Amino acid sequence: RLKPFNRLQVILQHLKMSKHTDSTAEVFLEKRGGAGVITLNRPKALNALNLSMIRQIYPQIKTWEKDPETFLIIIKGTGGKAFCAGGDIRAITDAGKIGDRLAQDFFREEYILNNAIGTCKKPYVALIDGITMGGGVGLSVHGHFRVATEKTLFAMPETAIGLFPDVGGGYFLPRLSGKIGYYLALTGFRLKGRDVLKAGIATHFVESEKLPALEKDLIALKSPSTENIADLLDSYHAKAKIDQEKEFVLDEHMEKINSLFSANSMEEIVKKLKQDGSPFAIKQLETINKMSPTSLKMTLRQLREGASMSLQDVLTMEYRLSQACMRGHDFYEGVRAVLIDKDQSPRWKPAALEEVSDELVNDCFKPLGNNDLKL
């Protein structure tokens, strides 16, 4: 028999090993109290979402939705820097180049997950502490509650890489007040902290250091209703003092945003910005000039159409657009310029808005027959 000390060593060794194998999991799914807790665990990759994570999260949400002992779902990220900085673009790029199925499967399964969050019957609480962009927005924005902190950094930067603000961007962006959503989608403008709440993307604002306590309190709720959860979030929100007095970063520009970004075409938006000539308008022109012209036209139409569509119809439309991007040129060129070579000088084809024909844009929106997304 092992001496007590040796036995302890063996137990510690075993714990260390099991902890070690466990901590390499890309996502933790655990039942704690009345809550199902999803923890994104790729801190080095800023918790970027990949296909294997999607394939673990989706069935778990569906299981918890049916479980009478699960009253809410909480999603968060590890590492302190990001909730989720986006989808695993690198993997998609490599797959798309060689026509690998991943380029279809990733978007298809990601959008099915976005829809599961948007239709979830259990209250869904996303703790969007840190960077929340692209795919990370898709994991949070369609849920009942989105809790921002002073560390939240929100953006939909897709037009800069030859993509479009997907994951249901065509649904939530045009529904933000005025033309904020169009502005965020076309320019990739970043919102920080309380501004994420003021823009209508988050539902609550809580100090980052209070999140562990909030999570503990959420888990401890006994058979809570949506109202009970809202009350608890409200009470934390009411106590958050950081930046309480600061006005919304876009406040002074809202009038311009609403008029300039209400045009029916990209060319018209550019024309209006040039005519306006204010420092704000000039800055927007500079930003828009860096973006993929094809992405800009695709995005404007996506938002204009999405404004009156259901989330399901938007995701079906966006799946068509995603596959058009996989077939095209700009996505690979954008990823090269921004993420791989980092020279920040993509060579878009077509290179100017005027060269992106209606026919080219219409093509991106065409149904895919049997390959269409089915929700």
> pLDDT band at 1, cuts 50/70/90?
low
pLDDT of 18 reads: 45
Contacts of 106 (CB under 8 A, 6+ apart): 50, 51, 54, 87, 88, 91, 92, 95
- Pairing assessment for the beta strands 191-192 and 204-205 based on DSSP bridges: unpaired
Helices 293-306 and 311-327, packing angle to 10 deg: 170
> What is the mean predicted confidence (pLDDT) over 116-132?
98
Instruction: Give 61-120 pLDDT, tens digit per residue.
Output: 999 999 999 999 999 999 999 999 999 999 999 999 999 999 999 999 999 999 999 999
pLDDT of 103 reads: 93
Under a CB-based contact definition with an 8 Å cutoff, are residues 145 and 117 in contact?
no
* Residue type present at position 338: V
Residue 67 lies in a domain: yes
Residue 7 lies in a domain: no
Residue 22 lies in a domain: no
Residues facing 49 on adjacent strands:
87
Residue 256 lies in a domain: yes
pLDDT of 12 reads: 56
pLDDT of 9 reads: 62
> Is pLDDT of 23 > 70?
no
E-strand ranges in the chain read 27-32, 35-40, 72-77, 82-84, 124-128, 131-133, 145-148, 153-155, 191-192, 204-205
Percent of the chain's residues with pLDDT above 70? 94
> What is the mean predicted confidence (pLDDT) over 187-196?
98
Residue 190 lies in a domain: yes
Residue 308 lies in a domain: yes
> What is the mean predicted confidence (pLDDT) over 307-313?
98
d(CA 369, CA 364): 13
pLDDT of 16 reads: 52
Instruction: Give 329-351 pLDDT, tens digit per residue.
Output: 999 999 999 999 999 999 999 99
Mean of per-residue pLDDT scores for the chain = 95
> pLDDT band at 17, cuts 50/70/90?
very low
d(CA 158, CA 335): 10
Instruction: Give 150-178 pLDDT, tens digit per residue.
Output: 999 999 999 999 999 999 999 999 999 99
Residue 366 lies in a domain: yes
Residues facing 35 on adjacent strands:
32, 72
> Is pLDDT of 2 > 90?
no
SS3 assignment, position 343: coil
Query: What is the domain-level CATH number for residue 200?
Result: 3.90.226.10
Cα→Cα distances 314→114, 343, 356, Å: 11, 33, 23
Q: Which residues are catalytic?
A: 87, 135, 158, 166
Domain that holds residue 50: 27-371
Helices 180-187 and 293-306, packing angle to 10 deg: 160
Cα→Cα distances 26→22, 49, 59, Å: 9, 9, 16
Under a CB-based contact definition with an 8 Å cutoff, are residues 371 and 323 in contact?
yes
d(CA 302, CA 164): 9
pLDDT of 24 reads: 81
Q: How far is CA 86 from the centre of its chain?
A: 6
- Pairing assessment for the beta strands 191-192 and 153-155 based on DSSP bridges: antiparallel
pLDDT of 19 reads: 45
Domain count, the chain: 1
* Residue type present at position 42: R
Residue 51 lies in a domain: yes
Q: Is the pTM of this model over 0.85?
A: yes
d(CA 324, CA 366): 9
Q: If you compute the radius of gyration of the chain from its CA atoms, what whole number of angstroms results?
A: 22
DSSP string, 123-180: -EEEEE-SEEETHHHHTTTTSSEEEE-TT-EEE--GGGGT----TTHHHHGGGSSTTH
Instruction: Give 206-255 pLDDT, tens digit per residue.
Output: 999 999 999 999 999 999 999 999 999 999 999 999 999 999 999 999 99
DSSP H/E element including 294: helix 293-306
d(CA 2, CA 218): 43
* Token pair for 24: 């390499």
